[in-house]
């Protein structure tokens, strides 16, 4: 089976550690995963904001880039939903029959938890993550893809984890793509309630399957210096006990400095690089070194 990773433009640019975690996790589970270099973006931002014309070339690029693979896996419920629900319609609305045919021929696109549970048939991925974690089920993964409790089943099987339920979990966090900018006051008001619920759990880590939502909630948690960090599901599932070299374990106890997001990261399979301990902690970094 030829598996392609669609890393998404956001994760590629802002959260590469999530992409590395997906690679590490899938390789640990015995899957060879490829990264087709032609990929850029699923076109969701353009589509959802009403820029359909601009979306067409992105749909075409997606279909061309992933043609011939058996499956595409992506660490975003929202982008998976965009491809599955709307790519064909964009092509049809553009009146491009060839493109529509190409879109129909695109291999199945799976959100990470779907791929693990449905395709690989695993819920225990051999992860170790001794932290208090709460999970936010993102709207598109729930209401458009219907991933249900797959992410929670995966998390429950993680060794050492203290998984706590998030109150009002089904409430939207307020990100909403360009909504976060166009209606930033409302977006922040919604995010504030989400952050309040996260804080009520006493969790150290907020986990979700979409870095876009995490960027929003995490941005608030960071601005308020709440001491809660956000992590993509892939990063928790990729964390393993053997990664916890003394340096990394140390860092978990006393959040200290990391150069890691500044310096080129070590390949995921190697041991984490030691940290200098000089600069203060970045909002999303403490666990960065372990995957």
Q: Phi and psi at residue 126, in whole multiples of 5°?
A: 80, 25
Residue 276 sits in the site that holds other proteins (CB under 8 A):
no
To other proteins, the closest distance from the beta carbon of 118 in angstroms equals: 21
Kindly give the pairing relationship between strand 71-74 and strand 3-5.
parallel
Nearer to other proteins, 115 or 158 (CB): 115
Running DSSP on this structure, what letter comes out for residue 254? S
> Is position 191 an interface residue for other proteins (rule: CB under 8 A)?
yes
| C-beta of residue 131 within 8 angstroms of C-beta of residue 164 | no
Regarding 57 and contact with other proteins (CB under 8 A), the answer is yes
255 binds other proteins (CB under 8 A): no
Which distant-in-sequence residues (6+ apart) come within 8 Å of 235 by Cβ? 17, 18, 21, 287, 291
Task: Rule CB under 8 A: say whether 1 interacts with other proteins.
Answer: no
Taking CB under 8 A as the rule, does residue 284 contact other proteins? yes
Q: Does 177 bind other proteins (CB under 8 A)?
A: yes
User: Looking at 3-11, 120-128, 153-161, 238-246, which segment touches other proteins (CB under 8 A)?
Assistant: 3-11
Q: Is residue 277 within the footprint of other proteins (CB under 8 A)?
A: no
Tell me which stretch binds other proteins (CB under 8 A): 119-127, 147-155, 231-239, 255-263.
255-263
Identify which range of 107-115, 118-126, 154-162, 175-183 contacts other proteins by CB under 8 A.
175-183
Q: Rounded to the nearest whole angstrom, what is the least distance from the CB of residue 185 to other proteins in the complex?
A: 5
Phi, psi (rounded to 5 degrees) for 219: -65, -40
User: Which 119-158 positions form the footprint of other proteins (CB under 8 A)?
Assistant: 139-140, 143-144
Task: Look at residues 115, 16, 105 and name the one whose alpha carbon lies nearest to residue 65.
Answer: 105
- Of 49, 51, 43, 50, which is closest to residue 81 (Cα–Cα)? 43
Dist CA 120 CA 98 (whole Å)? 32
Size of the site for other proteins (CB under 8 A): 76
With respect to other proteins, which residue has the nearer C-beta, 65 or 161? 65
Degrees, nearest 5: CA angle 113-119-125: 55
Residue 175: CB minimum distance to other proteins, A: 7
Within 64-123, which residues bind other proteins (CB under 8 A)? Answer: none
> In angstroms, what CA-CA distances link 151 with 79, 117, 209, 252, 283?
17, 9, 8, 24, 23
């Amino acid at each position: 089976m030829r598996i392609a990773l669609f890393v998404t433009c956001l994760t590629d640019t802002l959260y590469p550690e999530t992409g590395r975690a997906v690679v590490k996790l899938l390789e640990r589970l015995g899957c060879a995963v490829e990264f087709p270099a032609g990929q850029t973006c699923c076109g969701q931002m353009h589509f959802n904001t009403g820029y359909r014309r601009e979306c067409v070339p992105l749909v075409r690029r997606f279909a061309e880039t992933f043609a011939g693979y058996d499956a595409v896996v992506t660490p975003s419920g929202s982008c998976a939903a965009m491809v599955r629900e709307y790519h064909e319609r964009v092509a049809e609305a553009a009146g491009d029959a060839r493109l529509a045919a190409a879109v129909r021929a695109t291999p199945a696109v799976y959100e990470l938890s779907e791929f693990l549970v449905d395709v690989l048939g695993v819920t225990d991925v051999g992860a170790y993550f001794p932290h208090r974690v709460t999970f936010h089920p993102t709207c598109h993964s729930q209401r458009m893809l219907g991933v249900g409790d797959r992410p929670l089943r995966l998390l429950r099987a993680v060794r050492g984890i203290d998984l706590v339920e998030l109150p009002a979990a089904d409430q939207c966090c307020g990100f909403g793509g360009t909504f976060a900018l166009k209606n930033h006051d409302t977006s922040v008001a919604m995010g504030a309630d989400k952050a309040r619920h996260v804080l009520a759990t006493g969790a150290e880590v907020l986990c979700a399957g979409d870095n876009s939502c995490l960027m929003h909630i995490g941005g608030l948690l960071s601005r308020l210096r709440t001491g809660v960090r956000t992590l993509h599901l892939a990063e928790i599932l990729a964390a393993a006990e053997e990664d916890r070299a003394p340096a990394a374990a140390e860092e978990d106890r006393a959040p200290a400095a990391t150069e890691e997001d500044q310096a080129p990261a070590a390949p995921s399979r190697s041991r984490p690089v030691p940290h200098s301990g000089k600069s203060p902690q970045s909002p999303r970094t403490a666990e960065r070194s372990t995957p």
